[in-house]
Structure 1
Amino acid sequence: MRRPSLQYLLLAICVIAGISICFGYAEMSQENSRLAGFDNFITHTMEEYEVPGVVVGIVENDSVVYLKGFGARELGKPDLVDPDTRFQIASVTKYITGAAIGTLVDEGKLNWDTPVITYLPDFTLKDSYVGNHSNLRDMLAHRTGLRRDGELLGRIGYSNDEILHRMRYLESDAGFRERYLYSNAGYFIAGEAAAKVDNRSWEDLTDARIIKPLGMTRSGSHPETLYLDDNHYSGHGGAPGDVQIIPLENASLPAAGQVVSTGRDMTQFLRLMLNNGTIDGKQILTPKTVTDIHAASLVAGRSGPLRDPNGAVGLGCDSYYFLGDRIIEKNGALDGVRSIVILIPEKKSGLVVIANKQLTAFPEAVRDEFLERYIGKSGVDLQAQEKASQAGWNSLIKNPDRPFNPEPAKISPSAIAGTYTSDMYGSMLIEEGPNAENMTLGLGPNGYEGNLTHWTNNTWYLSFPNPDDLVGYLTFTATPTGSVEGIVSDEFGSFTRA
């Protein structure tokens, strides 16, 4: 049993001086009857989901009609969220990555359907056919079949060049172009291809091609952008009634989740994509490229609040239908933050929500309210539906329960302790812990710390402090004389004793 990644999941009330309060900073370009009572909905829903702070922006007909910050940047402190508060936007970065790559497509430097090896001649994957034929569309539409354990490579101390090289050892969990399988690794590869042809890093090209032309003055693709001044969020997480400030998570693979932005700046991006690639008379993307980004490159299955059975994946975003209107959506999660953007292209309307808490369905609750206000009542209690989802997510915070009657280990921790190696991860040092049931490990060049808990027999459960990291089971193998020779794992592959 695998603890699900919090990347697909979603408290704290704004507590100042012991009283539950939600503070708002308001900017509205005009009164809008669709938005009557929307403030009250936001503050009430924040309280229900125990979210400390949030920014919400709405674009309509190329104008920002709603832009407000609510609540606290950090639980227990007086600083308020406003439209210019910096947040990590997590996987909403993928939508911006798709747009940045789109500018290179418009210039003829890249093509969505040209194999990646054309741009990265040394690139390959474990399945050479997939490596030779995968194109940017495959990478951005999550249709390569690559497993998500490639994300760990971005945490354990390897350079981008080394990560790209080690992608050749990454296993697949689905056939090539067979089905949707979310892959941050695919975005990393696409970002490196873009960097290669533009002769600068993904961060620099994204800033130059999207962030700066849109006047997103408080945004950036470099992670240090978050800390350029004091107006930035703190992350929160925890179980209901026990929300705490938690360390922020750095995106493991840059092009998949590293952009920092604000509510105000993200309304600029919404305007661009709603206006077919043009903003304030300046063309950033051609209409054809915007259409390509939003088009269905793969049918993924049920999606959206009404569970559209033909939900699809685009190039950095998803799409589905809601009461006959096509919706473009991208959401994101890193430890301490949730984000979502929504476009209703036919109505020239869009929404951005960024909340400083992980494991919360709050952004989806706001999305549902927005869709019913701008399109029509669905006839379904969407808010009850989101609360049910939240209850399910709350049950997933903890690690899986150990077997009721575990078999004792036949190999002692002292015999297991030592150094192991794998083609994909490099070295792994395992050390004895405080008792026979627990050990620690350091993975890769920087000794990225993980925890081993005895599960049953010679199998141990591996987890990491970051809840977005891959978890799984390591089974230690021994020779007939009892010496440990290696590790086998469905999730992490094989290791040999060094």
Structure 2
Amino acid sequence: MRALAAPLVAAGLITGCQTSAPQPQSTDPDLPPPLVAAVPIPDNAVADAVAKLDDLAEELMRKSGIPGMAVAVVHGGKTVYAKGFGVADVTTGRKVGPDTVFQLASISKSVTATVVAQQVGAGVVGWDTPIVSRLPWFALSDPAVTRMVTVGDMLAHRSGLPDHAGDVLEDIGFDRRTVLERLRQLPLEEFRTSYAYTNFGFTAGAEAVAVAAGKPWEELAEEALFEPLGMTSTSYRFADYERRPDRAVGHILIDGGYHPRFVRDPDAQAPAAGVSSSVNDMARWIALVLATGRHDGRQLVDEKALLAALTPQSVAARATEPAMRSGFYGYGFDISTSSAGRIEISHSGAFELGTGTNVMMLPSADVGIIALTNATPSGVAETLTAEFADLVQFGEIREDWYGLYREVFDEMAKPIGELAGKSPPPNPRPAAPLSSYVGTYQNDYWGPARVSAAEGGLRLALGRTLDVPLTHWDGNIFTFGLITENAPPGTISRATFDGDKLTLEYFDQFGKGTFRR
């Protein structure tokens, strides 16, 4: 989807933060001021909040109409709540349970950062390892930045790559290596002082770590994290998700209802969005993070290496006035401070085609919650974790979180294109003979656009998967519709012919929408 975590941070709605051992709640004079929160946590706060989760979850299911959700809470190193709601697939009615496997989308970044921290602690790489020292074929548009950009830069979204660089290349079928190689064609913002959420930049960082470890990323994650934690239902491979008998199917919101019409295969950007898991498995990971890398009495992930991931590395949402709290990004984690003065760690995940997820941790209360849904994101997962955080910190829900999140997600779900929702002109100018438009139009970034005559009309083929009819609009302007991970339902693009030049509005990202025959 067109980013999830980053826009919500920018909107001031997603919070996140560092982790540490449980922090004392008193005003002990020996407690360092940075560890003192503004509001003490109420007695029995976590237990009381957990007791309300059934009602909160069921109410959100009712209001939103989403098919299914699973929720887990970890406190004191133990899973204290794990439950499923609704159905995994509306066509079968199969129920969701705590072992149902969901696609996590961008929560995968936090899991990836944990794997990288394990490798940093083992001395395989450092957060400051240059990408090209492990991926000599990789480049960005500035040779100086190419030499300097590090694993940490990529996992903190501070490389200078534009927002969501490469995502639409994946949408039209290109594989991981092809997308990563084409990033060099994109313009860069300021190196290390700008922030832009980039799935494939993040993936490049993980790929460098995998090469340093001498094994594919998917295998490295299993050996470094999933197997030691006993996360037997967790994988970065889409094929593993598809094989799970108890899996939540993605449902897209179309015409006011949720339907399992599309399948989201995120293998190309697996380190950024490819994890599938259950809330029971993810509870094990949350416990590890809250315990600063310890599991079963041993230090599985080096505490210092993990701390780097869980503390600010980039300003993700700069305050717009002096009294406002800014939002930060570590390595794969959102970081912010709640109105109670407590650090929160979080990340959201979203697939337009049918996944909405959120994880939130309050280290000072030694508690974390994860909510996974199988529907186009509507703010349900974020609302539930925010309500839970309010209950833990204040004993009451203090905001209309669902209303706030719905506003953000509704905006993200709007169709793309200047002609979206508009009617064709009543008396359009005629097109030229269709044969005059037929041909192959070249573009270095997107690859060739192939226009062919078919059944009395025209078709456009681009990449490995896009093949759509062109509908005449006016004169030399045609249109085509598409629904992809980054194109919500209702998206319409213009295709404008001008002699041997073809301009595709939807693909004019970064000024690269011109194709020449």
TM-score range (shorter-chain normalised) is 0.7 to 0.9
Measure, in 1, the Cα distance between the counterparts of 2:3 and 2:63: 20
Deviation at 1:223, TM superposition (A): 0.9
Q: Secondary structure at the match of 2:257?
A: coil
- Listed as ranges, the matches of 1:241-390 within 5 Å are 241-251=256-266, 252-301=268-317, 309-322=325-338, 323-334=340-351, 335-376=353-394, 377=396, 379-389=398-408
Say if 1:145 and 1:348 are closer, same or farther in 2 by CA, change over 3 A.
Answer: same
Say if 1:289 and 1:52 are closer, same or farther in 2 by CA, change over 3 A.
Answer: same
1:484 is aligned to 500
Say if 1:426 and 1:388 are closer, same or farther in 2 by CA, change over 3 A.
Answer: closer
Measure, in 2, the Cα distance between the counterparts of 1:270 and 1:426: 42
Deviation at 1:135, TM superposition (A): 1.2
Deviation at 1:468, TM superposition (A): 2.1
2:461 is aligned to 442
Gaps of 5+ in 2: 9-45
Measure, in 2, the Cα distance between the counterparts of 1:240 and 1:320: 36
1:15 is aligned to none
Say if 1:6 and 1:320 are closer, same or farther in 2 by CA, change over 3 A.
Answer: closer
Deviation at 1:130, TM superposition (A): 2.4
Q: Secondary structure at the match of 2:88?
A: coil
- Listed as ranges, the matches of 1:204-219 within 5 Å are 204-219=219-234
2:420 is aligned to 400
Measure, in 2, the Cα distance between the counterparts of 1:159 and 1:190: 16
Q: Secondary structure at the match of 1:73?
A: strand
Measure, in 2, the Cα distance between the counterparts of 1:412 and 1:121: 49
1:403/1:455 contact within 8 Å kept: no
Measure, in 1, the Cα distance between the counterparts of 2:256 and 2:176: 40
Number of paired residues? 464
1:465 is aligned to 483
Does 2:224 align with 1:203? no
The structure 2 residue matched to 1:416, chosen from 422, 432, 437, is 437
Q: Deviations over 1:130-181 (max 9, x none)?
A: 2222111221111223232412333545454333322222334x33234221
1:163 is aligned to 179
2:2 is aligned to 5
1:442/1:449 contact within 8 Å kept: yes
Identity of aligned residues (%): 26
Say if 1:457 and 1:201 are closer, same or farther in 2 by CA, change over 3 A.
Answer: farther
Deviation at 1:419, TM superposition (A): 1.3
Q: Which amino acid aligns with 1:418?
A: G
* Larger relative contact order, structure 1 or 2 (CA cutoff 8 Å, min sep 6): 2
Measure, in 2, the Cα distance between the counterparts of 1:401 and 1:435: 25
Measure, in 1, the Cα distance between the counterparts of 2:159 and 2:433: 40
Measure, in 2, the Cα distance between the counterparts of 1:34 and 1:448: 47
Q: Deviations over 1:330-384 (max 9, x none)?
A: 1111221111111111111101100011131101110121111111146433343
Q: Secondary structure at the match of 1:99?
A: helix
Deviation at 1:403, TM superposition (A): 8.3
2:22 is aligned to none
2:378/2:410 contact within 8 Å kept: no
1:13 is aligned to none
Measure, in 1, the Cα distance between the counterparts of 2:501 and 2:297: 65
Say if 1:472 and 1:151 are closer, same or farther in 2 by CA, change over 3 A.
Answer: farther
Say if 1:401 and 1:210 are closer, same or farther in 2 by CA, change over 3 A.
Answer: same
Q: Deviations over 1:425-479 (max 9, x none)?
A: 322212357787xx542223x343356566776565665321425989666564x
Does 2:140 align with 1:125? yes
Q: TM-score, with normalisation over the residues of structure 2? A: 0.81
1:26 is aligned to none
Measure, in 1, the Cα distance between the counterparts of 2:369 and 2:336: 16
2:416/2:487 contact within 8 Å kept: no
Q: Deviations over 1:104-144 (max 9, x none)?
A: 21122212123211222222112223222211122111122
Say if 1:281 and 1:412 are closer, same or farther in 2 by CA, change over 3 A.
Answer: farther
1:141/1:297 contact within 8 Å kept: yes
Say if 1:169 and 1:375 are closer, same or farther in 2 by CA, change over 3 A.
Answer: same
Measure, in 2, the Cα distance between the counterparts of 1:46 and 1:430: 45
Q: Which amino acid aligns with 2:373?
A: A
Q: Which amino acid aligns with 1:181?
A: A
2:168/2:486 contact within 8 Å kept: no
Deviation at 1:248, TM superposition (A): 2.1
Say if 1:228 and 1:245 are closer, same or farther in 2 by CA, change over 3 A.
Answer: closer
Q: Which amino acid aligns with 2:484?
A: N
Measure, in 2, the Cα distance between the counterparts of 1:366 and 1:409: 54
Say if 1:401 and 1:130 are closer, same or farther in 2 by CA, change over 3 A.
Answer: farther
Q: Secondary structure at the match of 2:135?
A: coil
1:427 is aligned to 448
Say if 1:241 and 1:268 are closer, same or farther in 2 by CA, change over 3 A.
Answer: same
Deviation at 1:281, TM superposition (A): 1.4
2:199 is aligned to 184
2:118/2:306 contact within 8 Å kept: no
Single out whichever of 457-466 and 363-372 deviates more from structure 2: 457-466
Measure, in 1, the Cα distance between the counterparts of 2:155 and 2:479: 32
Query: How large is the RMSD of aligned CA atoms in angstroms?
Result: 3.1
Deviation at 1:211, TM superposition (A): 1.3
Q: Secondary structure at the match of 1:430?
A: strand
Deviation at 1:413, TM superposition (A): 4.8
Say if 1:340 and 1:308 are closer, same or farther in 2 by CA, change over 3 A.
Answer: farther
Say if 1:256 and 1:387 are closer, same or farther in 2 by CA, change over 3 A.
Answer: closer
Q: Which amino acid aligns with 1:484?
A: D
Q: Which amino acid aligns with 1:162?
A: T
1:140/1:315 contact within 8 Å kept: yes
- Listed as ranges, the matches of 1:132-171 within 5 Å are 132-147=147-162, 148-171=164-187
1:108 is aligned to 123
Measure, in 1, the Cα distance between the counterparts of 2:315 and 2:82: 33
Measure, in 1, the Cα distance between the counterparts of 2:275 and 2:305: 21
Say if 1:394 and 1:301 are closer, same or farther in 2 by CA, change over 3 A.
Answer: closer
Measure, in 2, the Cα distance between the counterparts of 1:488 and 1:221: 33
Say if 1:196 and 1:419 are closer, same or farther in 2 by CA, change over 3 A.
Answer: same
1:459/1:473 contact within 8 Å kept: no
Measure, in 1, the Cα distance between the counterparts of 2:92 and 2:207: 40
The structure 2 residue matched to 1:63, chosen from 56, 75, 78, is 78
Q: Secondary structure at the match of 1:270?
A: helix
Say if 1:278 and 1:133 are closer, same or farther in 2 by CA, change over 3 A.
Answer: same
